């Protein structure tokens, strides 16, 4: 595992950071990226890259994949940009689609070269339960649904090389990202909590545990799947009888 690398995007905080820590603890060589260095020491190499800057991201990926074989990838970076349909702006659309979808496609495109060469690899795309539909999430839900869709396409294209591709679709996870849109004490935060049968928001570690399993040899036969990890919220509206 030591001469091979695992790239985690958006790795300085939240879910990405938890995945980086979990995987580094399991012996993976982790490479993280975000716009700014993390405030605490990172368990691996770290690079400052803005994934919404397509040229900068492409240049970084070309350099990185020439220097180091990246055989595992977690496309985690994301941005919500909530707007009602009538208020959708092209600036938000561009930024949300570039950050959530285009960056993931570019990372997979460049990293899959080394995966194919070594005839192994894991790609995990972090989507959201909101692909099931949510008010104000035209750009975000659309981009994340497309991410879940391209995961299945890549799973089909890459299976012949021993590469698996899966999607994790979390419900609410207590991170800065979630806090911004759902401040402590707000009605919306409480309403979301009330919809979770298991009675709590996910922690970043809950998501990292699943990512770690999907990276493990035990998950070698799992590909093209969407994992809703949400404390049961996606089934909470099932009819009672
Ligand atoms: N939290 C939730 O409730 C929840 C639920 C479902 C899905 N998700 C998804 O899970 C993923 C992670 O969310 P999170 O809650 O962990 O977010 P978070 O705590 O806000 O962390 C986001 C990470 O991405 C980095 N980042 C943001 N924009 C970037 C950019 N343009 N270029 C490079 N790095 C960038 C941030 O660092 P910098 O700011 O320094 O760049 C940070 O490391 C996202 O894709 C999100 O859509 C989250």
The average pLDDT across 93-118 equals 98
> Is residue 166 within 8 Å of 154, Cβ to Cβ?
no
What percentage of the chain has pLDDT greater than the value 90? 94
Query: Ligand 1 centroid to 117 CA: how many Å?
Result: 30
Q: What is the pLDDT of residue 241?
A: 65
Q: What is the pTM of this model?
A: 0.97
pLDDT at 1 over 60: no
Best residue for ligand 1 mutational test, from 7, 8, 10, 142 (most atoms within 8 Å of Cβ) = 10
Q: Which of 12-26, 56-70, 117-131, 174-188 has the lowest mean pLDDT?
A: 174-188
Rounded CA-CA distance 107/112 in Å is: 8
Nearest residue CA, atom 45 of ligand 1?
A: 78
50 lines ligand 1 (CB under 6 A): yes
Nearest residue CA, atom 36 of ligand 1?
A: 10
pLDDT at 236 over 90: no
Atom nearest to 130 CA in ligand 1: 6
Average per-residue pLDDT for the chain: 96
Best residue for ligand 1 mutational test, from 20, 78, 172 (most atoms within 8 Å of Cβ) = 78
Q: What is the pLDDT of residue 181?
A: 84
Q: What is the pLDDT of residue 79?
A: 94
Q: What is the pLDDT of residue 239?
A: 67
The pLDDT confidence band at residue 2, using thresholds 50, 70 and 90, is low
13 lines ligand 1 (CB under 6 A): yes
* Domain residue limits, the chain: 5-229
- Give 180-205 as a DSSP string: HHS-TT-HHHHHHHHT-TTSSPBPHH
Q: Which of 27-31, 189-193, 233-237 has the lowest mean pLDDT?
A: 233-237
CATH architecture of the region 5-229: 3-Layer(aba) Sandwich (3.40)
What percentage of the chain has pLDDT greater than the value 70? 98
Is-catalytic flag, 140?
A: yes
9, 126, 209 from 19: Cα distances, Å: 10, 11, 8
Q: What is the pLDDT of residue 35?
A: 98
103 lines ligand 1 (CB under 6 A): no
């Amino acid at each position: 595992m030591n001469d091979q690398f695992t790239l985690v995007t958006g790795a300085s905080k939240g879910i990405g950071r938890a995945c980086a820590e979990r995987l580094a603890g399991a012996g993976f060589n982790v490479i993280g990226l975000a716009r700014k260095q993390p405030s605490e020491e990172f368990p691996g190499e770290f690079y400052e890259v803005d994934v919404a800057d397509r040229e900068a991201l492409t240049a970084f990926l070309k350099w990185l994949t020439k220097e180091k074989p990246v055989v595992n990838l977690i496309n985690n970076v994301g941005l919500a940009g909530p707007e009602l349909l009538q208020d959708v702006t092209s600036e938000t659309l561009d930024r949300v689609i570039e950050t959530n979808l285009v960056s993931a496609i570019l990372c997979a495109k460049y990293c899959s070269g080394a995966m194919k060469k070594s005839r192994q690899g894991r790609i995990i795309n972090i989507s959201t339960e909101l692909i099931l539909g949510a008010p104000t999430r035209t750009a975000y839900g659309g981009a994340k649904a497309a991410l879940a869709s391209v995961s299945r396409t890549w799973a089909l294209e890459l299976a012949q090389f021993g590469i698996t591709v899966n999607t994790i679709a979390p419900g609410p996870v207590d991170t800065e990202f979630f806090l911004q849109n759902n401040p402590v004490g707000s009605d919306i935060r409480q309403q979301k909590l009330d919809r979770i049968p298991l009675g709590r928001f996910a922690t970043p570690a809950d998501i990292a545990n699943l990512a770690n399993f999907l990276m493990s040899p035990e998950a070698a036969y799992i590909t093209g799947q969407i994992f809703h990890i949400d404390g049961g919220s996606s089934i909470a509206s099932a009819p009672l009888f």
